Every structure is written in structure tokens, then in C-alpha cells.
Amino acid sequence: MMLFGVSRSRLALLLFLALLLQATVLAAGGTATVDSLLLLRVVPPWDMVDPGVAECVVSAIDYAETKGMGVLIELETYGGYLDSAFTIGDRLATSRVPVIVYVSGGKAFSAGTLISLPAHILILSPIATIGAMQPVTLNPVTGRYEPVNDTKIINPIIEKAAYYAELRSRNTTAARLFVTRNLVLSAHEAVKYGVADYVAKDFSEVLGYLSGRSVNVGETAFKMSGSLRVEEYSCGVRSRLLSILSNTVLSSVLSTIGIMATIFSIVSGRLEALPLALLFLLLGLVGSGFNPNLISIFLILLGAALLSIELFVTPGFGILGISGIVMLSTGFALLPAGGPTFIAPEATFLVVSRYIAIGIGLGLGLLTAFMLYKVVQAKRRRVTLFELEGKMGRSVDRIPAGGEGFVMVEGEYWRAYSDEDIEPGSPVVVVGRRGSLLIVRKHVGSG
């Protein structure tokens, strides 16, 4: 019997092949189980979305991908820098493992909202509010924040927010209104309008919600274990240092000190203070958006040069050596932990190198402090050319009681005073000294 020109046996074979093909496609996507979560906290005092936090988030997701772990980001922020928010958002959007953002406090505004939208699961605390994403700029003259309405800046932010929202099936209209109208939603409103996924009052409720839940990441379905383990991730020295230097107030102070100290060093002729002035200026540039990698390399080279000059050219150990040690330590602390494999070595090697360099810097710093302590101690000590008290000698002249005469002590002639009569050639012992005048008496048992 033919069915539309195809026999039943051939139709059965085609159906079998179709099912086999479907199974192959599903198998290609695959499934995975998540047994543990990597917890990263973006909360006070490290709540500003800045280059340091961005680097830390990227590093945490990279680490989680190598371990097959999910990522749980605890968030509590007023916002931060746009470039850093884009860096974090893009990394969440391309993550190969599930990323969960939990706004544990009362706010995730501006850049905080932008980095929440591409999360695979967004959970808010009952008191949390999100939104208010219109960008602002800091006026350096007045110190006030001013809204940015330039479409060249606004439009890319709107489209990026809408893209993140659409990527995770969130409300794109609300995402656009966050930017154009500074829309702000409470936790329950965010869930109601399809911006967030769940409201949880604490971490135990978050883990309970995640338990047994499946999350699609690309073509892989990740299933959360019923008993998730949580491992906390700590940001590196470089990330924290970048966060500190990114503070606008501190950056302005460091730049001002650097500029004034540089001018003072040149005008006064005290060029030995110039390296420290340059250090302040360079650290201030990090907060102004200058590439920290270039500053790191410059500090390492300059610090090595200063330390070499101090050790091999100038005598002693002073301001040049101290400046060199500080620059080396700061430069290695700012050294990037990773990079393209064809340019930089493995991240582990760089991390170990950084800690070795910091250890060497601390060791040299302690050695310098010890040397300075010994120098100060030596300068405070009374200078004594000869310690003659108790030395034996012989009288050259007759020294009457209460009078003076010459004696020979340690091969040298000295004027001497005695309370008793001493005949010429008699052995004497020095019992004291008044400037260049020795006080002597007869040597007991001299005969």
C-alpha cells in the first residue's frame, strides 16, 4: 500500500531517522548539573560599579566556567561608571554558566540595574528598588551631578538595556523607560512587570528558590542541585586597588598633590622628591581613566631604575631607594593578572609573580627601615675618638698636687692634672678627662 507515493516501511524508516536526528540535536545541546555557586559580593564598601569591580566580576565568571559552577552576585549599589557596567553586562550576557543576581539590600540603581538585566535569574529582596538609569556626569567645577541628554550617549544605553532584557525574556519596554523616564520599580512591581524573577528575603530563601530549578544557558540546560554549596570569591589586590583609585575625590586629591609636588621639586631644586611627586600624579591618572596597565609598566621600570641608582650610584640609602621600592610594589600590584595567551603568560604565573614582588617590596621596605633606624641611632650617639679612661701611662714632667704636667699615654703626649705629687717617669693611670686634659693618679703598687 502506498501513502502519497511512499510505502509504510519507508515512512517508518523516515520517522525513525527524524527521531534519531532530533535526539542527536538534543544530545548536542546537553544537560549539566550545578552543585555549587560562586558567591561574589558587590556591596558596601565595594559597591561602586567601577573598573576594579568589573575586573573582579569578569575574573569570577571565568573561574566559575572552568569549575562548572554557577555564579551568584550579591548586589547593593547606587550605580557607577558606564564603561564598567557595559563590561560586566556583556560578560554576563556571554557567560557559559548560570549567573544569578540577588539584590540583597534596598537598591540596584543606574549601572546596578544595567548589570542585573542580563542575569539568567534576577532575585530582589522585598525592600529593593531598581531603575533610574539615566546617565549623569560630574561637573568638576561645581561638584554636582548633571543629567546627560545627548542622544549620542542615551541611545546606545537604551539599546543595550533593551538587548539585555530581550536576551533573558524580560520586559524591554520597562528597560527602555529605565533610561528615558528614570523609571523606578519596587521588588514586587519588577516581578509583576516581568523585569525580575522572584522576591526573596534572605539567602536561604534564594537557595530554596534555586534548588532543583533548570536554567538554559545557550544550548545547555543547567539543573540546580537540591543542596547547593556556596563558595565565596575574593577579589584580587589589583581589583581592590583599582576601585580605590577610581574614587573621583581621591583621584583629584592625588593629581593635585602630584602636580603641586612636581612644581615644588623643580622650582626648589629638590629633585630627589620628584619621583614621589610623579607617583602621586600617576596614581591620580588611574582614577581619571588612564590605562592602569601602562601605568603599571611605567612604575615598575621607573622603580627599578631608581633602586639601581640608589644601590650602585649614590652613597647611602635614602629617598631614591624608598621611592623605588614604593613604585615597584605599586606597579606589581597594578599588574594585570591575565591577557591574551600569545602576549602574556598564564594568569597563575602572574598572580604568583605579583605576590613574590609584593613580598620582595615589603622585605626591602623593612630592610630600609632598619637601616634608617641604625643611621639615626648612630647620629644620636656621642662621638668618642679615644676611650682613655683606665689606660696606663708614664709621667714626663713632675706633676705637683693640684697642678698640671705632661704624660705619655698610648704613645701620645697629653696634658694631665693630678691631686697628688707625681715624679717624672712614674707610672700613672687615667681616671678621667676634661676635654683635652687628662686626670691621672699614681698607679697603685707602682713602687
Q: Are 37 and 112 contained in the same domain? A: yes
Q: Are 420 and 322 contained in the same domain? A: no
| Mean pLDDT, the chain, integer | 82
Q: What pLDDT shows up at residue 163? A: 97
> Is the model more confident about 197 or about 11?
197
Residue 179 lies in a domain: yes
Q: What pLDDT shows up at residue 26? A: 39
Q: Are 174 and 201 contained in the same domain? A: yes
Of 77-91, 97-111, 241-255, 313-327, which range is least confident? 313-327
The yes-or-no verdict on residue 307 having pLDDT over 90 is no
Q: pLDDT tens digits, residue range 168-211? A: 999 999 999 999 999 999 999 999 999 999 999 999 999 999 99
Q: Are 69 and 174 contained in the same domain? A: yes
- Is 120:217 a contact under the CB 8 Å cutoff? yes
Count the domains in the chain. Answer: 3
Q: Residue 330 is part of which domain span?
A: 239-380
> Is the model more confident about 77 or about 6?
77
Q: What pLDDT shows up at residue 6? A: 41
Q: Are 135 and 260 contained in the same domain? A: no
Distances (CA, A) of 313 to 221, 320, 321: 65, 11, 11
> What is d(CA 330, CA 382) in angstroms, rounded to the nearest whole number?
39
Q: Are 136 and 279 contained in the same domain? A: no
Q: Are 198 and 288 contained in the same domain? A: no
Contacts of 317 (CB under 8 A, 6+ apart): 310, 311, 368, 371, 372
The yes-or-no verdict on residue 78 having pLDDT over 70 is yes
Residue 343, number of CB atoms within 10 A of its CB: 6
Of 14-28, 43-57, 74-88, 266-280, which range is least confident? 14-28
pLDDT band at 289 (very low <50, low <70, confident <90, very high): confident
Domain end position, chosen among 235, 269, 295: 235
Q: pLDDT tens digits, residue range 272-286? A: 778 888 888 888 888
- The CATH number of whichever domain residue 420 belongs to comes to 2.40.50.140
Residue 258 lies in a domain: yes
- The CATH number of whichever domain residue 67 belongs to comes to 3.90.226.10
Of 29-33, 121-125, 395-399, 403-407, which range is least confident? 29-33
Q: What pLDDT shows up at residue 30? A: 79
Residue 71 lies in a domain: yes
Q: Are 224 and 108 contained in the same domain? A: yes
Tell me the β-bridge partners of 137: 146
Give helix 82-93 / helix 51-67 axis angle, nearest 10°. Answer: 10
pLDDT band at 261 (very low <50, low <70, confident <90, very high): confident
Reduced to 3 states (helix: H, G, I; strand: E, B; else coil), residue 248 is helix
Residue 323 lies in a domain: yes
Residue 282 lies in a domain: yes
Of 74-83, 108-117, 230-239, 285-294, which range is least confident? 285-294
The yes-or-no verdict on residue 429 having pLDDT over 50 is yes
> Is the model more confident about 392 or about 361?
392
Residue 24 lies in a domain: no
Q: Are 373 and 404 contained in the same domain? A: no
Distances (CA, A) of 37 to 27, 72, 286: 25, 6, 33
> What is d(CA 102, CA 123) in angstroms, rounded to the nearest whole number?
5
Residue 19 lies in a domain: no
Of the chain, the percentage scoring pLDDT greater than 90 comes to 42
Q: Are 268 and 373 contained in the same domain? A: yes
The conformation of residue 119, written as its DSSP 8-state character, comes to S
The conformation of residue 412, written as its DSSP 8-state character, comes to E
Q: pLDDT tens digits, residue range 16-27? A: 554 454 444 334
> Is the model more confident about 143 or about 214?
214
Domain end position, chosen among 235, 266, 284: 235
- Is 60:71 a contact under the CB 8 Å cutoff? yes
> What is d(CA 336, CA 355) in angstroms, rounded to the nearest whole number?
13
pLDDT band at 229 (very low <50, low <70, confident <90, very high): very high
0.85 exceeded by the pTM?
Answer: no
> What is d(CA 435, CA 447) in angstroms, rounded to the nearest whole number?
30
Of the chain, the percentage scoring pLDDT greater than 70 comes to 79
Q: Are 79 and 179 contained in the same domain? A: yes
| Closest to 39 measured CA to CA, from 62, 68, 69, 67 | 69
Domain end position, chosen among 235, 262, 289: 235
- Is 133:110 a contact under the CB 8 Å cutoff? yes
Residue 300 lies in a domain: yes
Cell of 285: 591618572
Q: Are 404 and 339 contained in the same domain? A: no
| Closest to 87 measured CA to CA, from 61, 126, 124 | 61
Of 169-173, 258-262, 271-275, 363-367, which range is least confident? 363-367
Q: pLDDT tens digits, residue range 369-400? A: 666 566 566 666 655 545 778 888 899 888 88
